[in-house]
Amino acid sequence: MTTSTFETIGKPPVDQFKVKPNLDPDNVGEFDWEQVYSELDWLPGGGLNKAHEAIDRHANGPRRDKIAMIWEGKNGEREDYTFGQMKELTDRFAGALQNLGIETGDRVFLFLDRIPELYIAFFGILKAGAVVGPLFSAFGPDPVRDRLEDSGAKILVTQPDLRRKVAEILSQLPALEHTIIINKNGRDESALEAGDLDYDAQMEAAPSDFSIVNTSQYDYSIMHYTSGTTGKPKGAVHRHQACVQQYATGKWALDLHEDDIYWCTADPGWVTGTSYGMMAPWTNGVTQLIYEGGFRASAWFEQIQKHKVTVWYTAPTAIRMLMKAGVAVPHRYDLSSLRFSASVGEPLNPEAVVWGEEAIGMPFHDNWWQTETGAIMCANYAAMPIKPGSMGRPIPGVELGIVDDDFNAVPAGEDGNLVVRPNWPGMFHAYWENSTMYNSRFKKGWYITGDRARVDEDGYFWFVGRADDVINTAGHLVGPFEVESALIEHPDVAEAGVIGKPDPIAMEIVKAFVSLNDGVEESTALRNDIMRFAREKLSTMVAPREIEFVPSLPKTRSGKIMRRLLKARELGLPEGDTSTLEDDD
Ligand code: PRX
């Protein structure tokens, strides 16, 4: 990794601003979150609600007729929604939920493509005081069942094709009371199944005005499931007060200003798609583009040109795919509207930062955070020089540390565990009904991120790697256990061990080592069948891209699969300490 500063490659990005940057990192002075809290608009009853901060405060003021959402559908449809319209629609959905008996703290899950109704339902759920659980629409039945079951969700809001995809699991969920179906613009002919509720009918029957439930800043608002090394994914639960940091980092790390057209490419099934694809722009009253279509280099640049996007937040895998398509593609488009671009989710190669200069006329600003942190924690913020390859410096009000395994500070330049001083506003407050796991993330006054990193003399942080077996594929965390569990459900599979294999585009791909049941012959057809089986159960993203048959898997004497060893063997690296390895005979 290079440690050169940006100046050695190009001019400091601070010179490129067409508007005044809103944070000078060397002049932050004594920072106090109270200052940011006081910029929020508290509820009349003294509470705090994310939907009020993102929607109603603007709808009730001068931004009432300002466009909040420009939606471009996958078939080229266009719909615009003002803050005022968003208020009316989210009020109605909140009322519909109350009609169905939803109360404060109930869980309502979303399993939808990127359609406007997803955003309406999202904020309607928050207005009703319930907890929203967004699900990635590419998921197959297993991840959807695990999440609905664990959270005890009462309502699932989905669309006809996705409902069909997971039909088999819906009857296995005793807590699930209703399934609401959104048939966007009548796209699907056979929309409702017996027992389903129709979104349009529920909206029509609901009152047009709704008083937001007086949630406190400490009430639960959103849960996102995230993968760890062991067990199934855990539901990281956030509180309404996370919006304080989402709002502030929208200004500091994404440089949002009043007249921006902002585009976050992340899917709302993941935390970036909610914290920065909803909360950050809308708490700042900024117009954002929601593009339903998938990735295609030319289509993406066309979006920027057509909608005059000014601030763009994307991810390293996407940038690497754009790089692969070549600079000729962006050069065919007028991208002069762009003022600021940023990236998150995986390490951003220094070359990718610099490529931005050539391709879009500006570097990408890398920043770091996690599902658990709820908001950006460390960033190459708008107002400071970038160091390509670094994730920047901690945001004001956040203390990061690099410590050894005994929590002693590690000197600048040396690798260690990345830890955070607890109680930043966006901090998750629970893993849903798993306090043991939650508590295990806090030790000796620090929150343990699970990442390894180092800090340089200038206070810039550099990502080194994960401290555990979690795989980061195209910016999405995949827990090996989840994939192994799905694989061993295949009738011919005896055991499976899953690792992340380095990949030039996706950073890592999911690779599985599989041993077959006695008497089963290895074959290409069987390998393909196991892959298809995993893709249908999980999703193309989570399922293994490579499967290798092995006679048996290395295990510890207590029977744990030694993924570290599988990885070392895959990469041709030293196998390290194998003293706990079980004998093969
Ligand atoms: O390992 C780090 C990596 O992604 C993890 C967080 O993933 P998730 O909980 O899905 O949150 C996504 C929202 C950002 C981190 O623990 N990661 C995130 N940002 C970076 C990163 N790795 C390197 N550089 C980054 N900028």
User: To which residue do tokens 């062991």 refer?
Assistant: 230
Calculate how far, in angstroms, residue 164's C-alpha sits from the geometric centre of ligand 1. Answer: 32
CA pair distance 265, 165, nearest whole angstrom: 24
Calculate how far, in angstroms, residue 466's C-alpha sits from the geometric centre of ligand 1. Answer: 9
Rounded (10°) CA dihedral 149, 150, 151, 153? 0
Instruction: Count CB neighbours of 559 within 10 A.
Output: 7
Strand partners, 262: 288, 311
CA pair distance 512, 225, nearest whole angstrom: 22
Closest CA to 570 of 471, 493, 454: 471
Split the chain (585 residues) into runs of 10 and give each run's mean pLDDT. 31 40 63 87 94 98 98 96 98 98 98 98 98 97 96 98 96 97 91 92 95 96 91 94 96 95 97 98 98 96 98 96 94 97 94 93 96 97 89 93 95 95 94 95 95 94 93 94 94 95 95 96 97 96 96 86 92 79 56
Find all residues with CB under 8 Å of 201, minimum gap 6, and list them: none
CA pair distance 521, 143, nearest whole angstrom: 30
Cα Rg of the chain (Å, integer): 24
pLDDT value of position 26: 65
pLDDT value of position 17: 39
> In this structure, which residue's CA is closest to atom 22 in ligand 1?
346
pLDDT value of position 14: 38
Domains of the chain: 14-451 (3.40.50.12780), 471-571 (3.30.300.30)
Q: Are strands 197-198 and 400-403 parallel, antiparallel or unpaired?
A: unpaired
Give the side-chain half-sphere CA count within 13 A for 457: 3
Ligand 1 contacts (CB < 6 A) are 226, 271-272, 344-347, 366-371, 391, 449-451, 463, 466, 472, 477
pLDDT value of position 10: 31
CA pair distance 244, 253, nearest whole angstrom: 14
Length of the chain: 585
Report whether 479 contacts 473 (CB < 8 A): no
Calculate how far, in angstroms, residue 365's C-alpha sits from the geometric centre of ligand 1. Answer: 14
Closest CA to 74 of 299, 344, 231: 299
